[in-house]
Chains A and B, each alone.
Chain A
Amino acid sequence: MTEPTFENLKNLILSELESNVDADTVTAEVPLFEGGLGLDSFAVLDLVMAIENTFGVQFTDEDFTVENFANIKAIAELVTRHQKAA
């Protein structure tokens, strides 16, 4: 099972999304959307799909909140919760 480390999530954002994100700007707490990396609607979708595939988790409706996907730290916590529950 791939662990949702900062490096793994950062690499996923840099490699999977249709956006030109500058690697130096990606930190654990930088907002992924407005006021941060500026990812758009489809980047949200691509990000969710890539996380599910990479980390072997399946999110539910309740997981889809702005807070859960606000930054890499929040995503790591969400994925960890799912992996532990599996």
Chain B
Amino acid sequence: MLLTEDLIARADAADRFVADDGAQLSYSALADRVAETAETLAAHDWAAPGRAVALPLTNDLAGICALLALFQRSVSVALLPADDDGPTPAFCSARLDTATMSASDINTSDVSPDREEPLVYLRTSGSTGEPKWVVITRDALILNADGVRDRMRLGPDDCVLIPVPIYHMYGLGAALLPTLLGGSSLRVASRGDPLSILQAERAVNPTMAYMIPSQCRALQPLRRSPRHYRGIVIATGRLSPEFAEKFEEMNGPVAGLYGSSEMGAIAAADPSTDADRRRREIGPPLNNVQISIEADETEEDGPATGPIFVRHGAGYMGYADGTGTISAPAPEQHPTGDLGYINELGDLNVVGRADNRIKRDGLWVLLGEIDACLADAAGVAEVAVVTAGQTRRGVGVVAYFVVERGADVSEEDLMHHCRDTLPGHAVPDQIVRIKAFGRLASGKTDLRALKEDAAERIAG
């Protein structure tokens, strides 16, 4: 396997290291520890090749070693957030605590669906309803990661800072695995706040970092003197061109990366590309990835914009249900649900979602969830939630409401209600009380007028 072979091949690279918040291992020590862990696992039936193990994955050395050992043993893994307190997936033979390397919820009856090769199960985020898993083979994940290594030119001279969670496709497939494949030094941070990032920087002097836009916006005001990376990879959203310019003056070049749990990294900029190009579009597709845009034939000006479809030599196998069985095999071309275009240089740009989901703090927000939260508040008669511009959390959100006759509900009351009810990234940037909504001839709320008003409020 590419990754294991590379780790072993780099075993004598004693000057390169893998570190977390509290400890550091040389690559050779890491290889030894992974081998020891794999040996420990070999004694357990629940970790036999072909089985699947639930792995709450932390951004630390214990988590990385456990993951690599399971990979080495050809055991499938279902990745969970470190603080996951839900039930162990029914298709897993155990749940592994990486800190103690002890297993719980052991179930070695025949819970595993047929697996001819080791798989990685990634839980889809943000949506409601039944749990759904994206299933990708271990080898496809690593192949995909190698494409990122190539695009970012990660090599032994690099030290990579990863303050994004490695149980997600972005942190795992676009950050952790490419870094290991590049033989680069690595520093994972268990927290992604600006203090943790700055502290990790001082400890290991990284040349590359992986962040999400909200981290950049939180970091920038605390960056008191310039400190240039060779590249900072940004996914799950874009920086506005104005902010990108200021951010790059203090932090070095930003390289956009576009991907999904299903397809891994799809397109990305090379951080050495000129700034104008990097700030305008995301970047060209990775090797082995074909992007097609189903553009509306009637559009004339500019590059043809439409739904983005991706064909990938290292994409997902399909979606699995709670039993681990693939219930929806991947189509030949994956519909990303995003709208975008490819410019004359072959760079992809994403202009938005085809539906009403937006990203804030790197997480999906359904506008309908915000709407429902506000509508639930006592005394609220009617609600409309619109997006406008960019705020430090991502896409700006302004909520408008009309009170019931005789009710007394203030904007502050509703903001408190949202903060009590919604996750932080879903709380609207502004909540505005108005007397009545404008109406279209059809009787529907005039959302265009609200969006214009919201744009002024967000810009102001």
Give the interface of A toward B (CB within 8 A).
Answer: 18-20, 33-34, 40-42, 44-45, 48-49, 59-62, 64-66, 68-69
| In contact, B225 and A64 (Cβ under 8 angstroms) | no
A18 to B215, CA, bound (A): 17
Instruction: Collect the chain A residues with CB atoms within 8 Å of residue B224's CB.
Output: 59-61
Known: A33-B193, A45-B221. A64 touches B199 (CB 8 A): yes
A80 to B373, CA, bound (A): 43
Instruction: Collect the chain A residues with CB atoms within 8 Å of residue B59's CB.
Output: none
A40 to B198, CA, bound (A): 15
Known: A64-B198, A64-B199. A48 touches B222 (CB 8 A): yes
**Stretch from B28-36, B69-77, B416-424 contacting the other chain:** B416-424
Name the distance in Å between B416's Cβ and chain A's nearest Cβ: 7
How many B residues, CB 8 Å from partner? 25
26 CB contacts below 8 A, A to B, read A19-B419, A20-B419, A40-B193, A40-B424, A41-B215, A41-B218, A42-B214, A42-B218, A44-B193, A44-B195, A45-B218, A45-B221, A45-B222, A48-B221, A59-B224, A60-B224, A61-B198, A61-B223, A61-B224, A61-B225, A64-B195, A64-B222, A65-B195, A66-B195, A66-B196, A66-B199
Which residues in window 185-227 of B have CB below 8 A to A? Answer: 191-196, 198-199, 202, 214-215, 218, 221-225, 227
| In contact, B416 and A20 (Cβ under 8 angstroms) | yes
A60 to B405, CA, bound (A): 53
| In contact, A41 and B223 (Cβ under 8 angstroms) | no
A20 to B424, CA, bound (A): 11
Name the distance in Å between B200's Cβ and chain A's nearest Cβ: 10
Which residues in window 220-248 of B have CB below 8 A to A? Answer: 221-225, 227
Name the distance in Å between A37's Cβ and chain B's nearest Cβ: 13
| In contact, B191 and A45 (Cβ under 8 angstroms) | no
Name the distance in Å between B197's Cβ and chain A's nearest Cβ: 9
Cβ of B393 within 8 Å of any chain A Cβ, yes or no, is yes
Instruction: Collect the chain A residues with CB atoms within 8 Å of residue B419's CB.
Output: 18-20
